[in-house]
Amino acid sequence: MAWSGTYKPVVFAILLFTFAINCFAQKTDTLHEFKVRAAKARHISADARLDVFAPGQKIITIDSAVLQQYQYQSIASLLAQQAPVFIKSYGFNSLATLNFRGASAAQSSVFWNGVPIQNAALGVTDVSLLPVSLMDKVNIVYGGSSALWGSGNVGGALMLENDMPVFDSLHTALSVSAGAGSFTQYMGALKAAYNNRRWFFSLNAYGQSAKDNFSYTDLSGSTKKMVNDAMYGGGAIAEAAYRFADKNVISLTAWYQYNNRDIPPALFETDSLKNSVNSSLRTVLQWNKETTGNKWYLKSSFIADNMVYDDPAILLHANNSTYQYYQEAGWQHKLDDHNQFLIFLPTQITWMKMVPDTLTRSIFKTAIAGAYNVKAFHNRLNAAVNVRAEIVNSTSFLLPGLDASYKVAEWLSLRGNVQRTYRTPTLDELYYVPGGNTTLKPEQGWNEDAGYSIKVKKGAFVFHHDLSVFNRNIKDWIVWFGGAIWTPHNIAQVHSRGVETQNEFLYTVGQVIFHISLNTSYIVATTTNSYIPNDGSIGKQIPYTPIYNGQANVGLSFKGLSFSYNHTYTGYRYITTDESEYLSPYQTGNIQAMYNIVCSRPILLLMQCNNVWNNRYAVVSARPMPGINYIIGVKFTILQ
């Protein structure tokens, strides 16, 4: 078996990474950690695909108090410190992409309110450009689920959501916040909402600036200050909703964002004048209606992304605009307390004008998909069957999936998931000039994972342990390589497998809550076959996929005060396909503190100190990361 060579290290990893935790109490003035959902036990999303029809998938929910603690940082920073997912970061205010279980960035999906927001040309999302402050819910889905989320969802998905509109008696809310930190960082934010029984309006806006002038060590061992590293930007999400009648709502949400970032020199460069300006407009028009046992919805989304890249040193100026239209209609019907189904029809069109040939290139996707959920044996068994028939341009294929969870006892539950995965090449992979490859084949294969969850509560103690084992085989994996001109190629097959653990321990004494947690991952992702003769990558780890990765948290809370120390470890990352070069492991220590002053107009004080041990490290080769740095902030609730 392909797994046999990894039995010993997997067992060693399980024994080595012992248990522990967190879960601060259910108060808004305490700092929670993420929670793992094995079987559906609570409402985690407004999207039924996530909340109802994926009972056997591993889903991590970031608690709202943790989002509050990281409100001055990006989604990239949040996930790097608080979730078992590798963030490939090129620097303090530079590009950062997702790596789920050894999958490439293009195999990792990002959704906002159920709409895919990957760049239409690149097929990836820069998570360093996604501010935590604009999001109300963050869920992470591990493992592919193409039947529910479409072709391209191979490694996993990041789910970002804003809260659904609230219709009640007349109510107005308003809060403002401001922060400052190392590297001349300044940030501010405003949140406002108004609603009555018919109308709902909300605005969530932010702005930030920084000069990333930290010290680093160059290739000769000298200490220098980073140059060409300023950034500024901002954005806002505005929503308007109207309720025609009870459970019949139409809403329009618009998200605009702008970021201007200088690109500092790599270690092999003496200087840099590079600059990147990113702007995006994302809109979603949605209608929802509910009756007894039925839910209907229709959403239409238009997304425009623009990137301007300048490098005066080589007289390069690039201005790329990409567009996406997405539409989805769905019907969820509850047959009885144990059976329900969902039928939905998604359509997506992505296009861009390629430079220099000025031709408009596009990809058209449409599908019909269904999901059926059944509960049996006094709700101990929760299973879902999912299937999607999809057409991409002129190619059609079927994507089935099956997942389930079973509650063996009050303290023990099991889960399993099997899905077919499929990803068609992106616009850049097909048509980029120079280097695009129109002969590329789609990536396809199967994803399997299983796990168990143990949760024990006895008196003042709460213990939670979760373990997942996964296996994925992908044929025709796409990789860019070459000399002066890089071109994407299909390498025959990549096999990814591994084990992940989440461990939590909570102890309460009076009003004091102690917590400790440990999250670990062991991932082997190797090339098992190649179209290239004498390929040195056979049996070698995929570049920039750490075999070992983990985060630990320890802290306490007392009334409105919470304090937490976070420690991260990232293992060796090979930077060549034949493992001839690598980056050394690194560790960072991070401190978070939060104090909620409860009064007629609550005040929230925040503090974060990152890389407290001032370690020198790089996530990506030749791109140094900053040493110790801090952020302090205050939030005033004016109306609530």
Write out the two tokens for 232. 């500024």
CA 55, 288, 254: angle at the middle one, nearest 5?
100
CA 87, 120, 141: angle at the middle one, nearest 5?
40
Q: CA 567 to CA 563: how far, in whole Å?
A: 14
510 HSE (CA, 13 A, CB side):
3
Examine residue 250 and state whether it is found in any structural domain, yes or no: yes
Report residue 37's pLDDT band, with 50, 70 and 90 as the boundaries: very low
Taking a C-beta distance cutoff of 8 angstroms, is the pair 400, 387 a contact? yes
Taking a C-beta distance cutoff of 8 angstroms, is the pair 335, 318 a contact? no
Taking a C-beta distance cutoff of 8 angstroms, is the pair 160, 75 a contact? yes
Answer whether residue 10 shows pLDDT above 60.
no
Query: CATH number for the domain including 212?
Result: 2.40.170.20
What percent of the chain clears pLDDT 90, i.e. is strictly above it?
Answer: 78
CA 519 to chain centre: 16
Cis ω before 434 (30° cut-off from 0): yes
Report residue 357's pLDDT band, with 50, 70 and 90 as the boundaries: low
Q: CA 553 to CA 567: how far, in whole Å?
A: 6
End-to-end, the C-alpha distance of the chain in Å comes to 59
**Mean per-residue pLDDT for 48-53?**
94
Read off φ and ψ for residue 369, nearest 5 degrees. -135, 150
Q: How far is CA 486 from CA 271, 537, 558, 575, 631, in A?
A: 24, 18, 55, 16, 39
**Mean per-residue pLDDT for 495-504?**
96
Question: Is 537 in a helix, a strand, or coil?
Answer: coil
Q: pTM for this structure? A: 0.91
**Mean per-residue pLDDT for 435-442?**
93
Cα dihedral 94→98→99→105 (10° resolution): -90
Q: Looking at residue 214, what is its pLDDT?
A: 86
Examine residue 594 and state whether it is found in any structural domain, yes or no: yes
Examine residue 400 and state whether it is found in any structural domain, yes or no: no
Q: How many domains does the chain have?
A: 1
Examine residue 395 and state whether it is found in any structural domain, yes or no: no
What is the DSSP code string of 365-396? Answer: EEEEEEEEEEEETTTTEEEEEEEEEEEETTEE
Taking a C-beta distance cutoff of 8 angstroms, is the pair 466, 163 a contact? no
Q: CA 318 to CA 307: how far, in whole Å?
A: 8
Q: CA 188 to CA 234: how far, in whole Å?
A: 9
**Mean per-residue pLDDT for 283-293?**
96
Examine residue 403 and state whether it is found in any structural domain, yes or no: no
Q: How far is CA 242 from CA 165, 189, 191, 368, 596, in A?
A: 9, 26, 20, 29, 34
Q: CA 331 to CA 607: how far, in whole Å?
A: 45
Mean residue pLDDT of the chain comes to 90
Report residue 596's pLDDT band, with 50, 70 and 90 as the boundaries: very high
**Nearest to 452, CA basis, from 488, 487, 394, 501:** 501
Which residue shows structure tokens 């996604």?
130
**Mean per-residue pLDDT for 327-347?**
97
**374 CB-contact burial (10 Å; exposed 0-12 / middle 13-18 / buried 19+):** middle
Write out the two tokens for 230. 């300023």
Cα dihedral 528→532→536→537 (10° resolution): -40
Answer whether residue 36 shows pLDDT above 60.
no
**Nearest to 262, CA basis, from 304, 305, 312:** 312
**When comparing pLDDT for 119 and 14, which is higher?**
119
Examine residue 450 and state whether it is found in any structural domain, yes or no: yes
Report residue 172's pLDDT band, with 50, 70 and 90 as the boundaries: very high
Report which secondary-structure segment, H or E, holds 89.
strand 86-89
**Mean per-residue pLDDT for 205-228?**
88
**When comparing pLDDT for 620 and 534, which is higher?**
620
Q: CA 109 to CA 337: how far, in whole Å?
A: 32
Q: Looking at residue 22, what is its pLDDT?
A: 31
List the beta strands (DSSP E) in 268-411. Answer: 275-291, 294-311, 316-334, 339-353, 360-376, 381-392, 395-409
**When comparing pLDDT for 568 and 25, which is higher?**
568
CA 507 to chain centre: 30
**61 CB-contact burial (10 Å; exposed 0-12 / middle 13-18 / buried 19+):** buried
Residues whose CB is less than 8 angstroms from the CB of residue 172 and which lie 6 or more positions away in sequence, other chains included: 192, 193, 194, 639
**Nearest to 365, CA basis, from 383, 344, 349, 382:** 349
Q: Domain range holding 310?
A: 4-388+410-639
Q: How far is CA 492 from CA 445, 479, 510, in A?
A: 12, 10, 59
Answer whether residue 480 shows pLDDT above 60.
yes
Q: Looking at residue 234, what is its pLDDT?
A: 97
Least confident window among 31-40, 105-114, 305-314: 31-40
Question: Is 62 in a helix, a strand, or coil?
Answer: strand
Q: Looking at residue 24, what is its pLDDT?
A: 28
Q: What is the pairing mode between strands 108-112 and 115-116?
A: antiparallel
**Mean per-residue pLDDT for 102-108?**
93
Write out the two tokens for 56. 């056997």
pLDDT tens-place string over residues 371-408: 999 999 999 999 999 999 999 998 999 999 999 999 99
Q: CA 259 to CA 276: how far, in whole Å?
A: 8
Q: Looking at residue 15, what is its pLDDT?
A: 31
Cis ω before 585 (30° cut-off from 0): no
Examine residue 286 and state whether it is found in any structural domain, yes or no: yes
Examine residue 399 and state whether it is found in any structural domain, yes or no: no
Report residue 42's pLDDT band, with 50, 70 and 90 as the boundaries: low
Read off φ and ψ for residue 237, nearest 5 degrees. -120, 120
**561 CB-contact burial (10 Å; exposed 0-12 / middle 13-18 / buried 19+):** middle
Least confident window among 37-41, 106-110, 155-159, 184-188: 37-41
**Mean per-residue pLDDT for 591-615?**
93
pLDDT tens-place string over residues 532-567: 888 889 999 999 999 999 999 999 999 889 999 999
